[in-house]
Amino acid sequence: MLRTHTCGELRLEDLDKKVILSGWVQRVRNKGGLAWVDLRDRYGVTQLIFEEGAVAPELLKTATTLGREYVVQAEGVVIERASKNDKIPTGSIEIRVSELKVLNKAKVPPFIIEDETDGGEELRMKYRYLDLRRNVVREKLQLRHRMMQETRKYMDGQDFMEVETPVLIKSTPEGARDFVVPSRVHGGEFYALPQSPQTFKQLLMVSGFDRYFQIVKCFRDEDLRADRQPEFTQIDCEMSFVDQEDILEIFEGLVRHLFTKVKGMELGNIDRMTYEDAMRLYGNDKPDIRFGMPFVELNDLAQGKGFSIFDSAELILGINAGGAANYTRKQLDALTNWVRRPQIGAKGMVYVKCNEDGTFKSSVDKFYSQEDLKAWADKAGAKKGDLILLLSGSEKDTRKQMSELRLKMGDDLGLRDKSVYKPLWVLDFPLLEWDEETARYHAMHHPFTSPKKEDMELLDKDPGKVRANAYDLVINGVEIGGGSIRIHDKETQQMMFRHLGFTEEEAQSQFGFLMEAFEFGAPPHGGIAFGFDRLCAIFGGTDSIRDYIAFPKNNAGRDVMINSPSSISDEQLIELSLDIKEREKE
């Protein structure tokens, strides 16, 4: 080996040892006659010292001419430092170097490779391999590694088998567009990349594998949003002979295990909430329950008093921002402007300050008496010193807007502490979701999700009301996993496809293999998948999943390092039977 120790390893106990270290030059400090070089590798930084008199003059010269990021090998003796650095674990020692070899030179890096860098996002992505040398970046991937290992340990311990499923498949309906891969051998035909291994894991249950998991790449060609990657990783799981409760328990176990082993934190109880309550109380199917501030409906108290905006509203919602009665006029105006932004879309906002002297001050004092406002405050659970904020309009929009306002108030009042973790199961999702654009129902989760038995009779009468055996795990307002108990008989599956507007032939050609498998003894089964990148981000306490991916795509879905996507040669196009040029001519 080109080293005896790593750059993070040596301590006072190692004094006088003869060692060889290899790594990258982080910094050279030249004091004339005395030079220090900080040598860095994945494990840490160790200081090398070159002192006139103690080392050969050529050696001192070589040391002082080393460039940043040169790869060097240094041989020497561990000595005690005169002035210690208690910020790094190796800070009590340094190496008096007797031999120094440059293993490779380096160009001046395009940005400073330290925790605080001068490199912008785009530049760091172009040179991601250099960005990854920075501790703060590498540590995120180390966290990911830990999460992966601990996931495998837990799953293996629970008798789950990790099985790889194919990447060249055909369409799976997870609600996004597929990435497709043209087949050369079968000109004019295409593979699709899996949006998830959904159908395969169900087939594995038919095979009797009983407990499956896989840490797996999934691909979805969705419109790009800030925190989305076209390829991402799931912890994908499926189990046989279980009901919903079993799945919730096993995977609470996984989440607990990860918190204990990776974060050294004991998770308390994981709360549960129905989808209906989540929407009613928080206007959101992934509520952040680190703080309360639930919605109260104020139609009965606020209508019929001559305020036409409220009188004509389908829904009037209030939230109680505890302790915020001291908001200034300016702050309230800013909030009003904030809810009026097109992204939120509210027409306006009404406030009620619950003053310390027991009086109320609102933006609608003209229409409402002190008693009226007190009744609102009582319903909202507001006390002296609190601030009630109200929005109104159509039911759907108002819930959505209030959800955003609630989260903003949570932020403004410091109630969304990143070091606090509040997981929540959201249960009983609707089976179907009406899509205005296509004017038909879509599966809210996916078409293999089983309806609740007791709601089956509603399927024909009122499909939108049917609930599914589907569940999501939410942590701090972020959906990190979702799954369902599946349909496992052909008839129900066929009926489901019918409800989703598939013709018999379409269902057969796309999912005939699954329905046929259901005829060969399919066990009752269900599963879940976790968004692994997001789970890592939550554990790391940051918002961006990109930080937890070694080589991520940028916001435009582009890998700027390897420059992909990119065009391919005419020969390749012809080989793949892709007539792009011909079509352009047309």
Show contacts with ligand ASP in window 529-548 (CB under 6 A): 529
Site membership for ligand ASP, residue 426 (CB under 6 A): no
- Shorter beta-carbon distance to ligand ASP: residue 393 or 483: 483
**Applying CB under 6 A, which part among 123-131, 144-152, 478-486, 563-571 lies near ligand ASP?**
478-486
Q: Rounded distance, CA 366 to CA 369, Å?
A: 8
Copy the structure tokens of residue 130. Answer: 């250099």
- Shorter beta-carbon distance to ligand ASP: residue 351 or 511: 511
- Shorter beta-carbon distance to ligand ASP: residue 435 or 460: 435
**Applying CB under 6 A, which part among 124-132, 318-326, 405-413, 481-489 lies near ligand ASP?**
481-489
Strand bridging mode 161-162 / 211-219: parallel
Site membership for ligand ASP, residue 397 (CB under 6 A): no
Copy the structure tokens of residue 102. Answer: 């440059």
- Shorter beta-carbon distance to ligand ASP: residue 281 or 426: 426
Site membership for ligand ASP, residue 401 (CB under 6 A): no
Shortest Cβ 393–ligand ASP spacing (Å):
32
Copy the structure tokens of residue 352. Answer: 């009620």
Do the Cβ atoms of 434 and 464 come closer than 8 Å?
yes
DSSP, collapsed to helix, strand or coil, labels residue 26 as strand
Strand bridging mode 71-80 / 478-485: unpaired
The CA-CA-CA angle for residues 244, 248, 252, to 5°, reads 175
Shortest Cβ 126–ligand ASP spacing (Å):
31
Whether the bond between 565 and the residue before it is cis, its omega within 30 degrees of 0, is: yes
Kindly give the residue spans of alpha helices, DSSP state H, lying in 432-547. Answer: 458-461, 490-499, 504-517, 532-540
Shortest Cβ 529–ligand ASP spacing (Å):
4
- Shorter beta-carbon distance to ligand ASP: residue 198 or 284: 198
Shortest Cβ 278–ligand ASP spacing (Å):
18
Q: Which residues contact 297 (CB under 8 A, 6 or more apart)?
A: 315, 316, 317
Site membership for ligand ASP, residue 447 (CB under 6 A): no
Shortest Cβ 195–ligand ASP spacing (Å):
7
Phi, psi of 20 (to 5 degrees): -125, 125
Q: Rounded distance, CA 352 to CA 165, Å?
A: 57
**Applying CB under 6 A, which part among 254-262, 459-467, 477-485, 567-575 lies near ligand ASP?**
477-485
Q: Rounded distance, CA 259 to CA 550, Å?
A: 22
Q: Rounded distance, CA 256 to CA 124, Å?
A: 35
Copy the structure tokens of residue 15. Answer: 């004094």
Q: Total residues contacting ligand ASP (rule CB under 6 A)?
A: 9
Q: Rounded distance, CA 81 to CA 141, Å?
A: 32
- Shorter beta-carbon distance to ligand ASP: residue 198 or 401: 198
Q: Name which position in 294, 410, 482, 540 contacts ligand ASP (CB under 6 A).
A: 482
Site membership for ligand ASP, residue 484 (CB under 6 A): yes
Site membership for ligand ASP, residue 527 (CB under 6 A): yes
Shortest Cβ 385–ligand ASP spacing (Å):
44
Q: Name which position in 46, 198, 229, 401 contacts ligand ASP (CB under 6 A).
A: 198
Show contacts with ligand ASP in window 171-190 (CB under 6 A): 174
Give the type of residue at 79. I
Residues of this chain that bind ligand ASP (CB under 6 A): 174, 196, 198, 482-484, 527-529
